[in-house]
Chains A and B, each alone.
Chain A
Amino acid sequence: MDLPRGTRLLAEGRWALVLALLGDRGDEELTWWAEALRGVDGAPRLLAVVDRPSMALVLRAEKLGVLDLLPQPLRREDFLRALLRLRSAAGEIPIPLPDVTPHGAGPYALVGQSPAMVDVYKLIARVAGSTATVLIQGESGTGKEVVARAIHLNGSVASGPFVAVNCAAIPENLLESELFGHEKGSFTGAIARRVGRFEQASGGTLFLDEIADMGMALQAKILRAVQEREIERVGGTDPIPVHVRLIAATNRDLREAITQGRMREDLYYRLAVVIVQLPRLTERGDDLLLLTAYFARQFAERSGKRIDAISDRAFEALRNRPWVGNVRELRNVIERAVIVATDATLRLEHLPEELRTDEAGLPGRSPSGLATLADAEARHIARVLAHVGGQIGAAAEILGIHRNTLTRKIREYGL
């Protein structure tokens, strides 16, 4: 059966396994299949068969979460072993997800009990009651907007609006009109009069996210608005009074930006009356399980599923992740996992490929947290050996190296 017909059949039924015979461009075809199977009903696993499985191809298959990559001619016992592996995925040990009581509700809830987060809660409680301007600092995805909303909801202007502006997302030439509004026809594209975010936030809180991405000229206007409590629309002539609580956030070092001449010092001091520093996810210890539970339940409910556990291997993979994108990245990973999960447990196979290759059990990681080439080689050799039932000759053939070299590597890696 050819590729197009194969994909057609995929849509017509519910499959547990897809057996793909790869051609000359094995790497490309593997990627294509991995993509084609994403989101398909029943979440079928891919078993690929290729003439000569190179080491690079086996590694690629592993990275893509392929169940197995078998050499041609396909032997019955290899096929049966692969099927057993398919069943053994269910053998991962489920860890029950704890009940979580978030502070707040919906997408802006604060979840966590780690000491670092408890300090943040205390600071929120202290500043919320005042009208002081707050600067929230933290890496991407640590929850700066969530904290800003918590300050707003627990403060004196809670009944007013909370208006968030993502300064980095908005094109530079439109940011001023987005913040201050514009009169119709004041510039090309000013198709109608627009009320700016400062006005929209009057009587409430204006949250300026990624404030460091703002140009100096606009910074001066922000400073004026904060000090004089009035703004002017672009193309307008009359000052408009505004009463807003300002909360700003950044993932950059604003002090460094001041020394580089990209941030006004007077605006910095105006914004940084109180500084809330948010911890990285990796600094939040057991919050990882709480957050996983919270997101898993949230997304399960949204997609009409029930998720009440995560497998030990999947959680280990989460624990080993450096989480560059912090909570936002975790949320994303769990959302995807819930979508592809077929029962009440999130398993390793439900996680994205980059997490599966980061899985626990690798010998000695580099300081960066990434696996070294030797780690990958050791793991791959172990896999091939397991695949051929420990036969060194057969393993050497698949790996494309001499059996003496293989024997030496087995000794070297203690396999």
Chain B
Amino acid sequence: MNAGAKRSLPPLRVEQALGLLPDIEVLAPLRALLLAASRPDERDQWSSLGPYLTVGKREVQPAELRNRMSQALGQVQTHVGALYAACIEALECQERADGVGAVAALGRAARLEEEVGRLAQAKAWYEVALVLAERLPDRRPEVELLRALGGVCHTLSRYAEGARYCQRGLALAEAEFDQVGAIAACEGLGLLALAQGEWAGAQAWYQRGLRLAESGGDAGRVGQLNYRLGELLRSRNDLTAAAEYLGRARERFEAADDAAGVARTLDVQGQVDARLGRRAAALGAFREALAWRRRAPPREAPLEVAIRLHLATLAVDSERYLEAEEELRRAEQVAIARNLGLQLIEIYTLMGALRGRQGEDTGFVFFEQAIELCRLYAVSPSTEAHVYHEYGVFRGRLGSREEARAYLEKAGGIFESLGQVAELEQVQAELQRMSA
């Protein structure tokens, strides 16, 4: 085929490319590269496809993939090499009866897996490390591993299991007078209680952690627990109390020079302002959050996406659809470039909801893309359930009651199995509204 004919051919799209890759783990880095290297076809921008562009419809250039393949393989090699090295180091430590060293090496491998989003693998490493740590005279590594396992279980939606780890960690930390460990365990227990809709329990855990942190004079942790309480109270609609906690969190984060902490706090403050109908204040808080985010390390990219998602939500709620779309497209760029699958799912879910508000039924393509990404990134069932929930609302809004009900029931079933009471109640309320 000559060059001219090749130019006139339609672009090879991500959805076609992904269809060629079997769903096996060894290809996961290639899938990530494929998404990151994709770009929107310029011809699509102004076509009727433009408003419905998703990552699946972006263009893939195999030549570019080939060029960047060595870079991706290099990253894989570095990662696997680090895991192997950690393993060998653990063996060497075992050989010379250095249990602490072995636990540290295995823990390092777990964190490496966690950083690249391989949570199930991270959990396996942590569990092996925990078995070793249980035999150590110094119990602090065990406390740290229990906290880490609690965190991984939280992200994997395994709330009850996570709570068990954190409970063990707290008991151990208190027995060992490990205040830092106890504070972290309290925070973890609060998060897990919150995920299961146990509001009072979550608040009690956070407050307990806060008391411990205040008695230790740890500004960073005091800031963090105030932030958690602010976030919790915002979700409970106790906005005045939330704002008080958030104000204190901000002070502490600023004192600790924690730019990401300030950005996170302002992000929640923006949501509080938005809930109070103070649009200008909310916009200001989100924009300031973005300014603080610039000072934070690059690994905080998900925070930027989260802030932009809230900016977009604010714009959707004030029916500024164009602004909402622009913000979502900016967030999408960051998420694709940084391989932030979870955030990409949230972006498309909100984009679909936005199209629903505009009465555009082709908006269903965003939900379908989000569902496809849930599968691709093997995200937690909770995330998938959120997509189904919004998909149901979308279908209901556009008059497809049978489909709306089916999606809502599917979401409700998942939330119920996870024990996410608050989310389940929202779905049930939606179903009741539809039946009325």
Which residues of A come within 8 Å of B, CB atoms? 3-8, 10-12, 32, 36, 39-41, 140-141, 144-145, 165-166, 168-174, 189, 191-194, 209-210, 212-213, 251-253, 256, 260, 262, 324-326, 328-329, 335-336, 339
Out of B49, B322, B400, B410, name the residue touching A339 (CB < 8 Å).
B322
Stretch at the interface among B60-68, B227-235, B280-288: B280-288
- Name B289-336 residues within 8 Å CB distance of A: 290-292, 294, 320, 322-323
In the bound complex, residues from chain A placing their C-beta under 8 Å from that of B294 are 3, 32
B43 contacts partner chain A, Cβ-Cβ < 8 Å: yes
Task: Report how far A11 CA is from B311 CA in the complex, Å.
Answer: 14
When C-beta atoms are compared, the residue in chain B nearest to A302 turns out to be B319
When C-beta atoms are compared, the residue in chain A nearest to B47 turns out to be A140
B198 contacts partner chain A, Cβ-Cβ < 8 Å: no
Q: List 15 A-B contacts (CB under 8 A).
A: A10-B284, A11-B281, A36-B291, A166-B52, A169-B57, A170-B362, A171-B369, A192-B403, A210-B47, A210-B48, A253-B8, A256-B8, A335-B322, A336-B322, A339-B322
Are B47's CB and A7's CB within 8 A? no
- Name B249-290 residues within 8 Å CB distance of A: 262, 280-281, 283-285, 287-288, 290
In the bound complex, residues from chain A placing their C-beta under 8 Å from that of B45 are 140, 325
In the bound complex, residues from chain B placing their C-beta under 8 Å from that of A173 are 15, 19
B20 contacts partner chain A, Cβ-Cβ < 8 Å: no
When C-beta atoms are compared, the residue in chain B nearest to A164 turns out to be B362
Are A329's CB and B46's CB within 8 A? yes
Residue from B287, B371, B406 whose CB has the most chain A CB atoms within 10 Å: B287
In the bound complex, residues from chain B placing their C-beta under 8 Å from that of A191 are 403, 406-407, 410
When C-beta atoms are compared, the residue in chain B nearest to A249 turns out to be B48
Are A140's CB and B284's CB within 8 A? no
In the bound complex, residues from chain B placing their C-beta under 8 Å from that of A166 are 48-49, 52, 362
In the bound complex, residues from chain A placing their C-beta under 8 Å from that of B15 are 171-173
Are B365's CB and A192's CB within 8 A? no
Are A4's CB and B288's CB within 8 A? yes
Number of CB contacts from chain A to chain B under 8 A: 121
B147 contacts partner chain A, Cβ-Cβ < 8 Å: no
B25 contacts partner chain A, Cβ-Cβ < 8 Å: no
When C-beta atoms are compared, the residue in chain B nearest to A163 turns out to be B361
Task: Report how far A39 CA is from B321 CA in the complex, Å.
Answer: 12
Task: Report how far A170 CA is from B365 CA in the complex, Å.
Answer: 6
In the bound complex, residues from chain A placing their C-beta under 8 Å from that of B362 are 165-166, 169-170
Out of A168, A189, A252, A335, name the residue touching B49 (CB < 8 Å).
A168
Are A169's CB and B407's CB within 8 A? no
Given contacts A4-B262, A140-B46, A260-B9, contact A172 B52 (CB under 8 A): no
Are B287's CB and A7's CB within 8 A? yes
Are A194's CB and B403's CB within 8 A? yes
Given contacts A169-B362, A171-B365, A191-B406, contact A4 B291 (CB under 8 A): yes
Given contacts A169-B49, A193-B402, A336-B322, contact A8 B288 (CB under 8 A): yes
Are B48's CB and A209's CB within 8 A? yes
B108 contacts partner chain A, Cβ-Cβ < 8 Å: no
Which residues of B come within 8 Å of A, CB atoms? 5, 8-10, 15-16, 19, 43-50, 52-53, 56-57, 262, 280-281, 283-285, 287-288, 290-292, 294, 320, 322-323, 362, 365, 368-369, 371-372, 400, 402-403, 405-407, 410
Q: A189-B368, A213-B10 are in contact. List 7 more A-B contacts (CB 8 A).
A: A8-B285, A36-B287, A40-B283, A171-B15, A210-B47, A325-B45, A328-B46
Task: Report how far A164 CA is from B294 CA in the complex, Å.
Answer: 43
Are B323's CB and A145's CB within 8 A? no
Q: How far is the CB of A70 from chain B (nearest CB, A)?
A: 22
In the bound complex, residues from chain B placing their C-beta under 8 Å from that of A339 are 320, 322-323
Q: How far is the CB of B304 from chain A (nearest CB, A)?
A: 12
In the bound complex, residues from chain B placing their C-beta under 8 Å from that of A252 are 10
Task: Report how far A194 CA is from B53 CA in the complex, Å.
Answer: 24
In the bound complex, residues from chain A placing their C-beta under 8 Å from that of B56 are 171
Are B405's CB and A11's CB within 8 A? no
In the bound complex, residues from chain A placing their C-beta under 8 Å from that of B285 are 8, 11
Out of B19, B292, B400, name the residue touching A4 (CB < 8 Å).
B292
Residue from B47, B320, B362, B405 whose CB has the most chain A CB atoms within 10 Å: B47
Are A7's CB and B403's CB within 8 A? no
In the bound complex, residues from chain B placing their C-beta under 8 Å from that of A40 are 283
Out of B5, B19, B262, B284, name the residue touching A260 (CB < 8 Å).
B5
Given contacts A4-B291, A11-B281, contact A325 B46 (CB under 8 A): yes
Are B287's CB and A11's CB within 8 A? yes
Residue from B49, B362, B368 whose CB has the most chain A CB atoms within 10 Å: B49
Q: How far is the CB of B45 from chain A (nearest CB, A)?
A: 7
When C-beta atoms are compared, the residue in chain B nearest to A169 turns out to be B52
When C-beta atoms are compared, the residue in chain A nearest to B16 turns out to be A172
Task: Report how far A171 CA is from B55 CA in the complex, Å.
Answer: 11
Q: How far is the CB of B343 from chain A (nearest CB, A)?
A: 19
Are B57's CB and A7's CB within 8 A? no
